[in-house]
Amino acid sequence: MSYPTPIAMRSSLKAAQLEIDWDDDHKSIYSHEYLRVHCPCADCRGHTPDQAKVITGKENVHATHIELAGNYAIRIEFDDQHGTGIYAYSELRNNMCQCPECKTD
Q: Which residues pair with 73 in a beta bridge?
A: 69, 88
What is the per-residue pLDDT for 59? 85
3-state DSSP call for residue 8?
strand
Q: Where are the domains of the chain?
A: 6-94
What is the per-residue pLDDT for 54? 74
pLDDT tens digits, the chain, 105 residues: what are they?
A: 567 899 999 999 899 999 999 999 999 999 999 999 999 998 888 777 777 677 777 888 999 999 999 999 999 999 999 999 999 999 999 999 988 888 755
What is the per-residue pLDDT for 98? 87
What is the per-residue pLDDT for 104? 59
Domain 6-94: give its CATH architecture: 2-Layer Sandwich (3.30)
Burial degree of 4 (CB within 10 A; 0-12, 13-18, 19+)? middle
Count of positions (residues) in the chain: 105
Q: Which residues pair with 11 in a beta bridge?
A: 18
